[in-house]
Chain A
Amino acid sequence: MENSKMYIISVYSENQVGLLSSISNIFTRRGINIESLTVFPSEFPGIHHFTFRAITTEHAARQVVGFIEKKVEVVRAFCFPDSATSAAEHGILEEYLQKRNQ
């Protein structure tokens, strides 16, 4: 069995009513407790940034990210062990949005 540890799950999405609840449901359904949550407008206009911290396994964290990304309004989601820094995140998203011709 994989070891559980703290993961940061970072989500960029459109700003839409009900989205927070449907994203947090993805954690609930798998019995993952959310330790902390912040939501704020991202550096990209019209795009919101959610940051979840939760104790789980890498496999489960990746699954959660996959299911979050399946939500129509979600742009991208990432997961990192809490210790890692996420400097790459900004660059990936910027490139992605440019490519999608927003």
Chain B
Amino acid sequence: MESLLGEGVDTVFGYPGGSILNVYDKMYDYADRLRHVLVRHEQGAIHAAQGYARATGRPGVVIVTSGPGATNVITGVADAMVDSTPVVVITGQVSNAMLGTDAFQETDVVGMTGPIDKWTFQIRKPEEVQEAVAKAFHIASTGRPGPVVLDFTRDAQVGICDFEAYQRCTHIRTYALPAPADEATVEAAARLIDDAERPFVVFGQGVVLSHAEEQLKAFLKKGGIPAASTMLGLSALPSDFPYYVGMAGMHGNIASNMMTQQCDVLIAVGMRFSDRVTGNPSTYAPRAKVIHIDVDRTEIGKIIPVDVGILGDAAEVLERLTQRIRFSFHDEWASLARRYDRAETEKVIRPETRPAEGPINMGEVVSRVAELSRREAIVVTDVGQNQLMSARYSRFAQTRSFISSGGLGTMGFGLPAAIGAKIGAPDRQVCVFVGDGGIQMTIQEFGTIMQEGPAVKIVLLNNNWLGNVRQWQELFYSKRYSQTRMLNPDYSLIAKAYGIRYRCVEDRAELEDAVREMLEAQEPFLLDAHVREAGMVYPMVPGGHRMDEILLNKEEWYRDGE
């Protein structure tokens, strides 16, 4: 059964149950070679595997039982699909003879996961195991990565078959690996870039997935091109990289959104034009010829029509493009970013991160963590205001340092993902920012922390509201706060029950000291930061608007040139 070892797997996240018992029994013999992290709910297992995969670049592995075990991982499978995270999920299944009979804990895993994963396969015979596992790892980790589900019936688990030396899969006849990009498209893109006066790059997680960070830097330097990141692309470039202008999108930096609307050539690298990035797509980058580099053919032209689509791996394409383009400078254009940054700093950033009085702000907490962790931490986030604040105010020095649920926006992702990230990268500081809503969706994983001991630093941005929904209700639903007020438990008692170090901070004067204490701790730590209840994330491009229609606060729209 343990083809897993052949793939170099050393850690799995799982939860045992009836239909997977035979695998767990076998695992007992492998305890010295295979670490099993026992989570408290299957959703925790898959999010932890996602955190592990995003921190390490290796596929995360999940083992759960049939029926409810399988349905509980579905959210994470959908999340990993849209965020291109390599995960191999092994589910137990009832015996072949009982398939389709509504047997105890039987569910149609193949039917349910098919539309939301990269590949699903039901293994019915022991002889199929090795090949299927090899294919699963190959498919999950190559091309545009994604989740793969292997449904092991009981017969596949109990039978005995010869296990020869494990062979990795390198070729499937119906599954093409990324080929070198078409020369003509690369050449056409190079010509467009050379002729551009205001070229602009928006890059996404594809840069991280294809290990193209250095190629991107070389490309930007040679072309003198300013660049913005999508949320999942964060940390692919260091925050202080000279050509980096910030994050694009609904709550992105003013510079990146304004420059998107003004550029004459937009070069999109490993990103998918999410509606959170484009606003209204028909008004997105209206003056630009668009070059889209992506490894997934269906992404090219899906949302934004392209002038040149380059199908290929970002690292390879960027390297060839860099060779083809001329050395250029666009200093006047690139320096626009500084003007926008000045306005954003004055209107939004300084009031958020350095307020003089009142309750602690969310951005203030994120900022202090970024400063005191010397930009070295892996930042994991949940979903909502905590996520947007973390994305806006964290600072990064190295790649694979930002882990968040982007496309699916799964509340409850943060805590288990941080556990997985810390287990995958034990030598790095891992800080998770989470709201009081999200933490309670997967709070049972405190038990995993207690048992396994990963030293994750949990920053609870506690405002007693479902803050992001509250923000929308305040702005767009006439302050009718329907079901967003939350009564919170006493987190100090919860932390105590799980043996997790805890500190509560309410005063600005104590914040820095509390963050320092958390970062210096060698063990798991929960920092309960009581933040401004009515905290808002700005700037904001309201959904469906043009990307240069930017709200700076409740009343004020950004006006260029001021």
5 smallest beta-carbon distances between A and B, as pairs: A66-B298, A22-B114, A72-B119, A25-B115, A72-B175
Extra contacts besides A18-B114, A75-B173, A102-B173 (13): CB < 8 Å: A14-B174, A17-B122, A18-B111, A18-B120, A18-B122, A21-B111, A26-B115, A29-B115, A66-B297, A67-B298, A72-B172, A72-B174, A74-B174
- State which of A21, A63, A70 has its C-beta within 8 Å of the C-beta of B114: A21
- Distance of A102 Cα from B171 Cα, bound (Å): 11
| Chain A neighbourhood of B441, CB < 8 A | none
- Distance of A14 Cα from B172 Cα, bound (Å): 11
> For chains A and B in complex, what number of residue pairs have CB atoms within 8 angstroms?
40
B207, CB-defined interface residue at 8 Å: no
Beta-carbon contacts of B154-178 to A below 8 Å, as 1s and 0s? Answer: 0000000000000000001111000
- Distance of A17 Cα from B99 Cα, bound (Å): 13
Query: Within the complex, what minimum Cβ distance (angstroms) separates B23 from chain A?
Result: 22
If the complex has contacts A70-B296, A72-B139, are A100 and B114 also in contact, measured as CB distance less than 8 A? no
A58, CB-defined interface residue at 8 Å: no
| Chain B neighbourhood of A102, CB < 8 A | 173
A89, CB-defined interface residue at 8 Å: no
Main secondary structure of the interface of B (DSSP, over half): mixed
Query: Within the complex, what minimum Cβ distance (angstroms) separates B432 from chain A?
Result: 32
Q: Using a CB-CB cutoff of 8 Å, which residues 98-121 of chain B contact chain A?
A: 110-111, 114-115, 118-120
- State which of A13, A14, A17, A70 has its C-beta within 8 Å of the C-beta of B298: A70
B302, CB-defined interface residue at 8 Å: yes
A73, CB-defined interface residue at 8 Å: yes
| Chain A neighbourhood of B296, CB < 8 A | 70
Query: Within the complex, what minimum Cβ distance (angstroms) separates A58 from chain B?
Result: 12
- Distance of A63 Cα from B120 Cα, bound (Å): 22
Beta-carbon contacts of A3-23 to B below 8 Å, as 1s and 0s? Answer: 000000000011001100110
Whether the pair A72, B118 counts as a contact (CB closer than 8 A) is yes
Q: Using a CB-CB cutoff of 8 Å, which residues 61-82 of chain A contact chain B?
A: 63, 66-67, 69-70, 72-75
Give the number of residues in B that approach A within 8 Å (Cβ atoms). Answer: 17
Closest residue to A47 on the B side, CB-wise?
Answer: B174
Query: Within the complex, what minimum Cβ distance (angstroms) separates A79 from chain B?
Result: 14
| Chain B neighbourhood of A70, CB < 8 A | 296-298
Beta-carbon contacts of A28-69 to B below 8 Å, as 1s and 0s? Answer: 010000000000000000000000000000000001001101
Whether the pair B111, A75 counts as a contact (CB closer than 8 A) is no
21 A-B residue pairs with Cβ-Cβ distance under 8 Å, sorted by A, are A14-B174, A17-B110, A18-B110, A18-B111, A18-B114, A21-B111, A22-B115, A22-B120, A26-B115, A63-B298, A66-B297, A66-B298, A67-B298, A70-B297, A72-B119, A72-B139, A72-B172, A72-B174, A73-B174, A74-B174, A102-B173
Give the number of residues in A that approach B within 8 Å (Cβ atoms). Answer: 21
Whether the pair A75, B174 counts as a contact (CB closer than 8 A) is yes
Closest residue to A59 on the B side, CB-wise?
Answer: B301
Query: Within the complex, what minimum Cβ distance (angstroms) separates A60 from chain B?
Result: 11
Whether the pair B297, A69 counts as a contact (CB closer than 8 A) is yes
If the complex has contacts A70-B296, A70-B298, are A25 and B114 also in contact, measured as CB distance less than 8 A? yes
Query: Within the complex, what minimum Cβ distance (angstroms) separates A85 from chain B?
Result: 25
Query: Within the complex, what minimum Cβ distance (angstroms) separates A75 from chain B?
Result: 5
Closest residue to B114 on the A side, CB-wise?
Answer: A22
Query: Within the complex, what minimum Cβ distance (angstroms) separates A100 from chain B?
Result: 5
Query: Within the complex, what minimum Cβ distance (angstroms) separates B278 from chain A?
Result: 17
Q: Using a CB-CB cutoff of 8 Å, which residues 274-309 of chain B contact chain A?
A: 296-298, 302
| Chain B neighbourhood of A67, CB < 8 A | 298
Query: Within the complex, what minimum Cβ distance (angstroms) separates B86 from chain A?
Result: 14
Closest residue to B146 on the A side, CB-wise?
Answer: A70
Q: Using a CB-CB cutoff of 8 Å, which residues 118-170 of chain B contact chain A?
A: 118-120, 122, 139
Closest residue to A74 on the B side, CB-wise?
Answer: B174
Query: Within the complex, what minimum Cβ distance (angstroms) separates A78 from chain B?
Result: 14
- Distance of A63 Cα from B302 Cα, bound (Å): 7
Closest residue to A12 on the B side, CB-wise?
Answer: B174
Closest residue to A46 on the B side, CB-wise?
Answer: B173
Closest residue to B119 on the A side, CB-wise?
Answer: A72
Closest residue to B135 on the A side, CB-wise?
Answer: A72
Whether the pair A13, B174 counts as a contact (CB closer than 8 A) is yes
Closest residue to B139 on the A side, CB-wise?
Answer: A72
Query: Within the complex, what minimum Cβ distance (angstroms) separates B180 from chain A?
Result: 15
Closest residue to A64 on the B side, CB-wise?
Answer: B298
- Distance of A83 Cα from B118 Cα, bound (Å): 34
| Chain A neighbourhood of B120, CB < 8 A | 18, 22
- Distance of A26 Cα from B139 Cα, bound (Å): 20
Query: Within the complex, what minimum Cβ distance (angstroms) separates A74 from chain B?
Result: 6
- Distance of A101 Cα from B173 Cα, bound (Å): 8
- Distance of A13 Cα from B175 Cα, bound (Å): 11
Query: Within the complex, what minimum Cβ distance (angstroms) separates A1 from chain B?
Result: 12
| Chain A neighbourhood of B119, CB < 8 A | 72
Q: Using a CB-CB cutoff of 8 Å, which residues 486-515 of chain B contact chain A?
A: none
| Chain A neighbourhood of B173, CB < 8 A | 75, 100-102
